[in-house]
Amino acid sequence: MLYDRVASNVRRTYALMFVFTALVAAVGLAAGLLLGIGYWGIMIALGISLAMTWGSYYNSDRIALSMSRAQPADETRDARLHNIVEGLSLAAGLPKPGVYVVDDEAPNAFATGRNPEHAAVAVTTGLMKKLSRDELEGVVAHELAHVKNRDTLVMTISVTLIGTVVLAADFMFRAFLWGGMGRRGRGRGGSNPVGLVLMLVAVGLLILSPFIARLLHFAISRRREYLADADAVLLTRYPDGLIGALEKLKADKTVVRSASRATAHLWIESPIDNAANSRRQKPRAWLNGLFNTHPPLDDRIAALRGITGGVGLGSAAGRVGS
């Protein structure tokens, strides 16, 4: 059952965030060994991470909307979208978020913001043209679920931690290659086998940490999508709406022009994966799948079909926005 997976996703996501923080601390310790400052490296790494997270916490919505070229939705021209967002927000017990439109033929949508009081939902013009009202409700409900569950905040923090890990690893490894840290390391433990092993482990961690950080980030993102799908169904009481939307997204090969890897995890379907699939039709290798920001649409559709009927979700006549 999908709802059993939802509970499991919540527990595993917290575990992944703990591992993420531990990775930042480990990078700091490795940097401290190479610099000869010991445990101060952990404090410095966590301090930088905290500063970057604090800045992105207050500016994540504006940055994401600007990068995606989103504009405020007109209340007259986009009245249907405003009506759907307002109705679903009321049903979910959320303040109405900012409503934005991205001028793009590719059907897609995303939510951003640090909390429900400072949130925004953006949809493309292509999404509004190609989806029925039921399907558009399913997509908006999915995005509001991200807002209610604070997924946008969690993903902002994970992206920031990635930046911290990558920057620290790159700086420390370059400095080590330049020789400054190498001389310090040899002075501190070059003749000591244990010190040499620790130094090699530190260098290896700095090389592998960006790769590990990205895997953790993508794992967090994929689990959040299943949870948002389930919550969207609970909100609309109509699984077929979201199922139909995902099926249309799967069939459409149009690429979002304003998409970037920095914001790919925010969209309901990864625009980066969509662009890659439009250039090649052969199945992805399992290794490539590790770096997907979203689970396969087929898996999400199958999970939603598993709860269609028999769970008291009601009919189309009884859902929100009808």
Which residue from 143, 147, 118 is spatially nearest to 58, judged by alpha carbons? Answer: 118
Span 267-322, pLDDT tens digits: 888 776 554 444 444 444 444 444 456 788 898 999 898 876 544 454 443 455 44
Span 89-117, pLDDT tens digits: 999 999 999 999 999 999 999 998 888 89
**In the chain, which stretches have pLDDT less than 70?**
1-14, 16-17, 20, 34-35, 38, 49, 52-53, 56-57, 156-199, 201-203, 205-206, 209-210, 212-222, 259-262, 272-293, 308-322
> Edge-to-edge strands of the sheet including 119-124?
70-72, 98-102, 119-124, 109-113
Say if strands 109-113 and 119-124 run parallel, antiparallel, or are unpaired: antiparallel
pLDDT at 136: 97
pLDDT at 40: 76
Catalytic center residues: 143
Task: Indicate the DSSP class of residue 93.
Answer: T
pLDDT at 189: 46
115 Cβ partners below 8 Å, 6+ apart? Answer: 150, 153
264 with 272: CB under 8 angstroms? yes
pLDDT at 233: 92
Q: Specify the long-range contacts of residues 37-41, CB closer than 8 Å, at least 24 apart.
A: none
What pTM does this model have? 0.71
pLDDT at 1: 53
pLDDT at 322: 45
pLDDT at 181: 47
